[in-house]
Every structure is written in structure tokens, then in C-alpha cells.
Amino acid sequence: MKILEEKILSEGIAVNEDILKVDSFVNHQVDPVLMHQIGEAFAAHYKDCGVTKVVTIESSGIAPALMTALALNVPMIILKKQPSKVLNDNLYQTVITSFTKGTSYELTLSQQFINENDHVLIVDDFLANGEAATGAIRLLRKAHATIAGVGILIEKSFQPGRGKLMEQGIDVYSLARISKLGKDLIEFIPEEE
């Protein structure tokens, strides 16, 4: 998605080969026009897949997931990173290790909002090692839901996430695929025509 790549180049900060800061338009301050365009792009790609729900992990994926759900006219579910004090039973839970933060957390999904009739699109901000997406897939499979695919804003293509998901038979659709990242260096895999 050319407009996302341009935004990454103009406002993203490449800290090193692992960290790309996009907090000026994705995850601290949000560019609503860009999020709308992202939602439309994901919806166009998955429009014929029978998606019944869009799922994301709090918090950076919320804006693009909401816009995608709006474009597909389906509900959005937010997977919580820690159990709520009020939602403490009838939960699906799994542990995920965050590549970026180097910490583990318990991902939680209320059984009330998902079932075996759901065909789910997962939307997230980054794909690196694939741990977050794999954890979300584990939770959804506990509910016997099926996976329509994983929509990613920014993929670090030099890391193994895409391969891990594709090995599981998951369709991965990334809007910006970074081939090389380093201090003040961002290179993309050219978009397929």
C-alpha cells in the first residue's frame, strides 16, 4: 500500500534492525484517514471470504481493526493482554511472548463473543516473529472458530513470522513489507502489480 509506505518513510523512525517507531500515526497518535484507507484495503482483500468477525490484540491494532470491521460490516473483538477483574471466568487464555518488548503476557478472549460459527480475520499492526498472531490463532481455535486470514499493517519480511503463519495454512496479507531495517534505514519489498 503505497500511501502507508510513504507515511512510514516520512514519519516512521527506524531505531535499529528490530524497532520501527510508528507512534505518530499508528499507536500513540492515530491518523484516522490512513486507518480508514487501511480498513478499506483489508476489507477489499477479504470481502469474499465470509468474515464474521475482526479480531485484534490490544492496543495498537484497534484502530485498523475497527476500520476493517466497519468496512466489512461485522463486529470487532479486542483480545485483552491481561484478564479483567470482571471478566474472570468463561475465558480462553494463552501466553504470548512479545518480540518487541521481550516480555510475556496472557492473552484473553471471552467465550461469550466467539463460537464455532465464526470465520475470523485477525488484524494487527506488526508481523515479526509471528508470536502474537499465532497466540490469537490458538485462542480462536480453542473456540473452534476458523481463520479467514491475518491482515498486517507492517511486516518485517526478514523475520520468520510470515513463514510460521503460512506453514499453518494461514493467508497473510501485509500492506507494507519491509525487506531491510536499520538505524535510519527502511527498505520495502516492491508491491506486486
For the chain, which residues score pLDDT lower than 50?
Answer: 193
The answer to the question of residue 14 being in a domain is no
pLDDT at 106: 87
Residue stretches of the annotated binding site for 5-phospho-alpha-D-ribose 1-diphosphate: 128-132
The answer to the question of residue 13 being in a domain is no
- How many domains, in total, are found in the chain? 1
Q: What CATH code is carried by the domain that includes residue 64? A: 3.40.50.2020
Cell of 172: 497473510
The answer to the question of residue 27 being in a domain is no
Q: Would the pTM count as exceeding 0.85? A: yes
The answer to the question of residue 185 being in a domain is no
pLDDT at 154: 97
The answer to the question of residue 188 being in a domain is no
The answer to the question of residue 85 being in a domain is yes
- Cα–Cα dist 27/155, whole Å: 15
Which neighbouring-strand residues pair with 54?
76, 121
| Neighbouring residues of 88: CB distance < 8 A, sequence distance ≥ 6 | none
DSSP 128-189: SSSHHHHHHHHHHHHTT-EEEEEEEEEEETTSSHHHHHHHTT--EEEEEEEEEEETTEEEEP
pLDDT at 90: 84
Residue stretches of the annotated binding site: 20, 27, 128-132, 156
pLDDT at 162: 97
Q: Which domain holds residue 127?
A: 32-178
Residue stretches of the annotated binding site for xanthine: 20, 27, 156
pLDDT at 193: 44
